[in-house]
Structure formats: structure tokens, C-alpha cells
């Protein structure tokens, strides 16, 4: 794996439809060029189709570094395409939640994030898969899907991260509990049957939902998935759980089940949509797995979020 200073050619793909993307493209390119990043190709995009087309183009062009600007969904799309290659991923956090950047300790300011691209270090991170579809932070079923559906682009654009709180209240009022079965193909846990479930989440990274924590010990290079299931309870108990989401200590609540594994199959009754890093991209039953050391990504020199372990494993 080459050092950042050895990068010969970089491409920039920015989701201009993300919260800060429209104003960021030229500023980011100018800042990186000024810092010595060899930017050879720039692609502002405004749609999912355009994003995939641009990403496939820059990968085929043979760049050493692909810098992606946008929210978590945009970065996840890029990671899914770059997984298993030697191409380095650079991240400009231009969305609402920016949970991957939070996990990797990438600063939220545009100029500071551009400086990381120029002067950072390369680490390996894991990539989650849900029926083959990629996710970096968290895949979830239940309340979070309702939250995503309630998060209109207008709401996110006008009030930023506060939109998650408003969307959660709206989704909670409409939510109906469901049944879930967790199966473990590797035999590391016994199957679990759960009734009256509020949400099941499968975490690959550490943060999600605008700064909530999957679990205190979760990490994006620990080669495991953190699973939690929140059971239905009184509003009072759910408020207590919600207050513990930021530091992950909610996993100790008696209405929460938590475990770690490398592979899990989730079956729900009825079949339900699956939220992958803010995008509805699968339906249960769903098998989740972790692709170890899948993506090379640039992080600050001071970041302790991940390390460079070498070639992708398993």
C-alpha cells in the first residue's frame, strides 16, 4: 500500500445534492490542489445514478485516490465499489450525520477534511454486507426505517442533525412492534426468537444516527458486527434508552439484547425494509456479514480508529 505522498493521480466525486455539497466542490478541489494533492478528475453529481456512473468511471481510469464528498450513503456507495481494490478512499463529510467521519475522527470542516487528504495516513476498515449490499456504519430494521422515511431532504437541509430528533418522534408515533429471529450460521450463538421488537440493528462501525454509538466496544476494524435488539416497552423506558444512545450504554438496559458476531441472518414477521447507512436498500430475510479490511481510507495522523493491517482478509 502506497503512502499518501506517493499518490500519482486523484479523482474527486462530490454529491452536489448533499447538505453542503453544492457549495463545496470548487472550494474542496482548490484546497486539495493547493496542498499538493494531484487532482486529475472532478465529478459533481446530483443523483444516485450519476454517482454510480462517476464512481465507476474514476475507478476505471486507474486513479490511486478517490475523494468522495457527501453524506454517509454516498460514501458507502463508493466504499462498496472500492472494496478489495488498492485504491485509497478519501472522505469529505458533507452530509447531515457524517457518522463514518465521526468514527474515523475526520474533522467536519471542509478545509480541515481536505488537509487530511493531503497529510493523513492510510488505514484499513471493514465493510458490512447485507445480502451483498454494502454498509459502513449500521444496518437496521424497525424504527430506524421509519426515521429515514420521515427525514425529508428539506428537513435535513434546514435544521441539520436536529432533523433526526424530529423524524424519530414522528416515526415512533407510527411504529408497530414486530417479531424477529436471529440465526447464526457459524454456530457462535444459539438462535434468538424475539417478540414485540422496536428495532434490530447490525453495526459495522461505531457511530450512527447523527452521533449515537452502536456499543462502547464497537469498532470499524475489529472484524465483527455488533448486534442489538430493542424490545417494545413503555414510552418512559424508551426515553431512558434514548438518553443512553450517545455513549452506547443503552446495551445494558434490560429491554435490550446485545451480542457480537461475524455473520447473522435476520428473519422478521412480517418481512421488513432494511436501512443501510440511511438508504432503504434491502428486505428481510437478510444475511449480514463483515468483509474484513475491505477498504483503504485516509484518516488524520492522530486518529486511533483503525490501523493498516495489510491485504484484505476473509
- Which is more confident, 58 or 25? 58
Strand partners, 211: none
Residue 150 predicted with pLDDT over 70: no
151: confidence class by pLDDT, cuts 50, 70, 90: low
State the pLDDT at residue 173: 72
Which pLDDT tens digit goes with each residue over 217-250?
A: 999 999 999 999 999 999 899 889 889 999 999 9
pLDDT digits (tens, 9 = 90+) for 155-184: 666 666 666 677 777 777 777 899 999 999
pLDDT at residue number 157: 62
Residue listed under C-alpha cell 452521533: 211
| Residue-level length of the chain | 314
279-308 pLDDT per residue, tens: 899 999 999 999 999 999 999 999 999 998
Residue 148: per-residue pLDDT = 72
Give the domains, in start order, of the chain with CATH numbers.
Answer: 4-126+293-299 (3.40.50.10330), 133-291 (2.60.200.40)
pLDDT of 10 strictly over 60: yes
pLDDT (average), residues 109-132: 96
**pLDDT over threshold 90, residue 69:** yes
Handedness of CA 17, 141, 203, 1 (dihedral sign): negative
What is the per-residue pLDDT across 301-314, written as a single tens digit (0 to 9) for each? 999 999 987 654 44
Indicate if the pLDDT at residue 18 is higher than 60.
yes
Residue 154 has pLDDT above 70, yes or no: no
pLDDT band at 116; cut points 50, 70, 90 = very high
Amino acid at each position: 500500500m502506497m503512502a499518501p505522498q506517493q499518490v500519482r493521480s486523484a479523482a474527486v466525486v462530490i454529491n452536489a445534492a448533499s447538505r453542503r455539497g453544492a457549495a463545496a466542490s470548487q472550494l474542496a478541489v482548490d484546497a486539495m490542489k493547493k496542498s499538493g494533492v494531484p487532482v486529475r478528475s472532478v465529478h459533481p453529481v446530483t443523483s444516485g445514478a450519476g454517482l454510480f456512473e462517476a464512481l465507476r468511471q474514476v475507478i476505471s481510469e486507474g486513479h490511486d485516490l478517490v475523494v468522495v464528498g457527501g453524506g454517509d450513503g454516498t460514501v458507502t456507495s463508493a466504499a462498496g465499489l472500492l472494496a478489495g481494490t488498492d485504491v485509497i478512499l478519501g472522505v469529505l463529510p458533507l452530509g447531515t450525520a457524517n457518522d463514518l467521519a465521526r468514527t474515523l475522527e475526520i474533522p467536519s470542516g471542509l478545509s480541515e477534511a481536505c488537509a487530511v487528504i493531503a497529510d493523513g495516513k492510510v488505514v484499513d476498515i471493514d465493510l458490512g454486507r447485507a445480502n451483498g449490499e454494502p454498509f459502513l456504519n449500521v444496518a437496521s430494521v424497525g424504527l430506524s426505517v421509519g426515521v429515514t422515511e420521515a427525514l425529508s431532504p428539506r428537513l435535513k437541509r434546514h435544521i441539520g442533525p436536529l432533523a433526526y430528533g424530529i423524524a424519530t418522534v414522528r416515526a415512533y408515533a407510527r411504529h408497530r412492534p414486530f417479531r424477529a429471529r436471529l440465526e447464526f450460521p457459524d454456530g457462535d450463538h444459539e438462535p434468538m426468537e424475539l417478540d414485540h421488537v422496536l428495532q434490530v440493528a447490525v453495526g459495522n462501525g461505531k457511530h450512527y444516527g447523527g452521533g449515537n454509538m452502536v456499543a462502547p466496544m464497537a469498532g470499524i476494524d475489529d472484524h465483527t458486527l455488533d448486534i442489538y435488539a430493542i424490545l417494545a416497552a413503555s414510552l418512559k423506558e424508551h426515553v431512558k434508552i434514548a438518553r443512553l444512545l450517545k455513549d452506547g450504554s443503552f446495551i445494558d438496559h434490560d429491554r435490550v439484547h446485545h451480542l457480537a458476531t461475524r455473520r447473522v441472518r435476520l428473519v422478521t414477521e412480517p418481512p421488513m425494509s432494511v436501512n443501510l447507512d440511511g438508504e432503504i436498500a434491502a428486505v428481510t430475510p437478510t444475511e449480514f456479514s463483515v468483509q474484513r479490511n475491505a477498504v483503504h481510507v485516509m484518516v488524520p495522523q492522530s486518529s486511533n480508529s483503525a490501523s493498516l493491517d495489510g491485504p484484505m482478509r476473509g
